[in-house]
């Protein structure tokens, strides 16, 4: 089972990927991890990547594809893998397809976790936690029983993550759509794209993904 999982930040992609890893015994391959591993292992392509990065340049698509190609030969990928954060562009998507084809492989499915932007923005932008015990709250969905007092520990001090504000969330979503929209069309045209409703509960999203995976 060779998968790509797409979804904006905050859609629960990490949680769902982790569940697929556990249920299906396939690894989640992130380009950052693969690059670091290839460099640490000192493979030919890892050495090339290191030289480029040491020179302060961005690693080219060729090198990244080479690293993915090398990584999926490892025994833990015998049943498949989830590609995480790659491909990001149409050129990379084409190169990925060609690389897999050369190995006699193809992608099984591309799963897009779809969200309602407004709802997602409200959800993330409203989050805050108790500064003392870490209990999670929300401006509208989950207020403390007594305003300004933590239900769990009685503390009156709360904190918000600096990037959990509306502007940052909207900017992250825009970047995601800018990068990802072309891929959605690309994989749709190839009949590989499957959408799931990311606004459902975590277990419901998992069930939708499992239903798709049962058919591929
Ligand atoms: Zn507390």
**Ligand 1: distance of its center to the CA of 154 in Å?**
6
**Ligand 1: distance of its center to the CA of 132 in Å?**
5
What number is the average pLDDT over the span 81-106? 94
Return the pLDDT at 143: 95
pLDDT at residue 123 greater than cutoff 90: no
**Ligand 1: distance of its center to the CA of 152 in Å?**
5
pLDDT in tens, 52-91: 999 999 899 999 999 999 999 999 999 999 998 889 889 9
**Catalytic hit among 88, 101, 143, 145:** 88
Q: Count of CB atoms within 10 A of residue 46's CB?
A: 21
pLDDT in tens, 134-183: 999 999 889 999 999 999 999 999 999 988 889 999 998 999 899 888 99
DSSP class of residue 77 equals G
- Residue whose structure tokens are 């015990």: 133
**Ligand 1: distance of its center to the CA of 58 in Å?**
44
* Phi, psi of 191, deg, nearest 5: 75, 20
Return the pLDDT at 181: 87
Strand arrangement, sheet containing 193-197: 28-30, 81-84, 2-6, 109-114, 193-197
**Catalytic hit among 2, 13, 71, 123:** 13
Is there a catalytic annotation at residue 127? yes
Task: Pull the structure tokens for residue 71.
Answer: 């990584």
- CA distances 129 to 142, 146, 163, Å, are 11, 15, 14
Task: Pull the structure tokens for residue 30.
Answer: 């992130």
Is there a catalytic annotation at residue 2? no
pTM as predicted? 0.83
pLDDT in tens, 186-215: 999 999 999 999 999 999 999 999 999 999
pLDDT in tens, 14-56: 899 999 999 999 999 998 899 999 999 999 999 999 999 999 9
Average pLDDT score, the chain? 93
DSSP string, 161-204: -TT-SHHHHHHHHHHHHHHHHHHHHHHHHTT-EEEEETTS-HHH
Return the pLDDT at 116: 93
The DSSP element (H or E) to which 81 belongs, if any, is strand 81-84
């Amino acid at each position: 089972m060779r998968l790509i999982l797409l979804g904006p930040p905050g859609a629960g992609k990490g949680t769902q990927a982790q569940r697929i890893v556990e249920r299906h015994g396939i690894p989640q391959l992130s380009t950052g991890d693969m690059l670091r591993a290839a460099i640490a292992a000192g493979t030919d392509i890892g050495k090339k990547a290191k030289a480029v990065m040491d020179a302060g340049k961005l690693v080219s698509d060729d090198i990244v594809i080479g690293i993915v190609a090398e990584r999926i030969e490892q025994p833990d990928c015998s049943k498949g893998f989830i590609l995480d954060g790659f491909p990001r562009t149409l050129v990379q998507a084409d190169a990925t397809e060609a690389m897999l084809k050369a190995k006699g492989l193809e992608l099984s499915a591309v799963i897009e976790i779809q969200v309602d932007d407004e709802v997602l923005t409200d959800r993330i932008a409203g989050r805050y936690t108790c500064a003392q015990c870490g209990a999670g709250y929300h401006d509208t969905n989950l207020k403390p029983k007594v305003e300004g007092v933590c239900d769990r520990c009685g503390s009156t001090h709360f904190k918000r993550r600096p990037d959990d504000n509306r502007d940052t969330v909207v900017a992250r979503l825009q970047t995601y759509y800018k990068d990802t929209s072309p891929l959605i069309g690309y994989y749709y045209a190839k009949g590989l794209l499957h959408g799931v409703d990311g606004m459902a509960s975590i277990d419901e999203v998992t069930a939708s993904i499992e239903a798709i995976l049962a058919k591929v």
